[in-house]
Amino acid sequence: MPKFSRNIRLFFALISDSIRVLIPFILIGAGFFYIAWQFVEPAPPNKFSMATGSVGGAYEQIGKRYAESFAASDFELELVNSGGSVENWSLLLDSKVDAALVQSGTLPELDDIPLEAVVSIALEPLFVFYRPNQVNLADTDFLTRLDQLSGMRIAIGGDGSGTRQLVYMLLEAAGLAEFYEANAQLIEIGGEAAAEALQSGEVDAAAFVMAPDAPLMTSLLADPELQVMNFSRAPALERRFPFLTQVTLHQGVVDLQSNLPNRDIQLIAPATYIAIRQGVHQSIVQLLIEAAKADQNRINLITEIKHFPSLLYTDIPIASDAQYFYERGPNILHRHFPFWVASLIDRMAILIIPLLAILIPLMRMAPPAFRWRIRRRIYRWYKRLRVIDDDLAKPDLPIELIQSDLDLVRQFENEVADTVVPLSYMEEFYNLRLHVAYIRSRLEERLTMTTQRQ
């Protein structure tokens, strides 16, 4: 039982010594941890909002595909319907959404735009459908210039849409904007409502900025009572408006069997790209790029394969995180681990690496510090014994001092007997006990001799 009790004392003594040795290192490590934590990026939000477009429109369909990509990484992409690009800019600037699908050429004219682009995802042509029976086509088979729309009722897109802004800009460049405003012939409707108005004869022409393979475009191209304007001056418009790109919709590319369209059509196309507020978490930026790349597996009818997503065609600078992830792609962590695990490790890398660089040397110092503490416990008695040994070297040592030193040494013996040290230090421990006993015997001998002389 005494041996068991001693082992227990030894165990707790070692634990106590270890804790006392490690406390400074723990405090130093905690200090460095706190400093490094200031540079750790916060965790990405669980929910992210993106403005798309009108219900049933192309932007909404893109948003739904992106939401599925986000859901695969356990993130929720909240889609916010809007009137289009113009309204989306307002939602972004008012911080009501985190990202938005926008059309090039619709950027608000502000001195400071606290927004960034991620990637452009498509060129979406401007289609101007018209009813041939409402147009005098004596000199040409098809409408080819904007000024030929003079006198027609035109659906130019809904309020807040990029289509409306683009059409009005082009009419203004052609010198027709004031005429149409004076005659109230610009009808602010778009999408399916504009298509229905065109097919019913309520309007003579309608403008759409939309992918050519969109169901609405396919149905309008198949309508024998409608034609599409061929922009003969597309190269000139591309030069005048840098955000526009000349594209060709080749004969039969929409539907080979039905031969839609039935001729090559020159069009002009603004780009669609993703805009975000500054400071959006880099993990969200990466998810947006991955969703954009995954969405490009669909056939594109007017651009080359793998042309999009792209870092071109944007009105605002590309975010640095977007450029990094676009050019380098997902790192090895994101290729082999779930997104949240890889994201966590990415965030903590800035914390773990410097801490390891600091803590490893500190922990290497812990064993020597522990050994020093154990030896210090042994050597502190040697310091006292040396003083007593110096007293014994004096020839005329008073009996009172001898008795005082003897009492102190006997106290040392009791303290040493109660001291617990690890087995690896027993050699120093037993040497101490021998030396204490040696000094005690010398003091007893000196006390006896001094007493006899007196």
Q: 315-343: per-residue pLDDT in tens? A: 999 999 899 888 877 666 656 566 666 66
- pLDDT for position 364: 72
pLDDT above 70 for 351 = no
Which is higher by pLDDT, 129 or 183?
A: 129
Confidence of residue 20 (pLDDT cuts 50, 70, 90): low
Give tens-digit pLDDT for 130-167.
988 766 655 556 888 887 877 788 999 988 888 999 99
Cα atoms in the Cβ-side hemisphere of radius 13 Å centred on 162: 31
Instruction: Give how far the C-alpha of residue 360 lies from the chain's centroid of Cα atoms, to the nearest Å.
Output: 29
Give tens-digit pLDDT for 45-100.
778 899 998 887 788 889 999 999 898 888 889 999 998 899 999 999 999 999 99
Q: How far apart are CA 427 and CA 162, in angstroms?
A: 88
pLDDT above 90 for 234 = yes
| Average pLDDT in the chain | 82
pLDDT above 70 for 442 = yes
Q: How far apart are CA 300 and CA 190, in angstroms?
A: 23
Share of the chain above pLDDT 70, in %: 75
Could you tell me which residues are beta bridge partners of residue 101? Answer: 274
List C-alpha distances in Å: 434 to 10, 385, 418: 21, 12, 15
Q: Which residue has the tokens 């990509």?
A: 69
Q: How far apart are CA 366 and CA 19, in angstroms?
A: 11
The average pLDDT across 220-236 equals: 93
- pLDDT for position 309: 92
Whether 254 contacts 224, CB under 8 Å: no
Ranges 125-129, 139-143, 171-175: which has the least confidence: 139-143
Burial of 13 per CB tally in 10 Å (0-12, 13-18, 19+): middle
Give tens-digit pLDDT for 358-401.
667 666 766 676 666 667 767 777 787 888 888 888 878 788 88
- pLDDT for position 387: 82
- Looking at this protein, which amino acid is placed at residue 7? N
Give tens-digit pLDDT for 26-35.
676 667 666 6
- pLDDT for position 223: 94
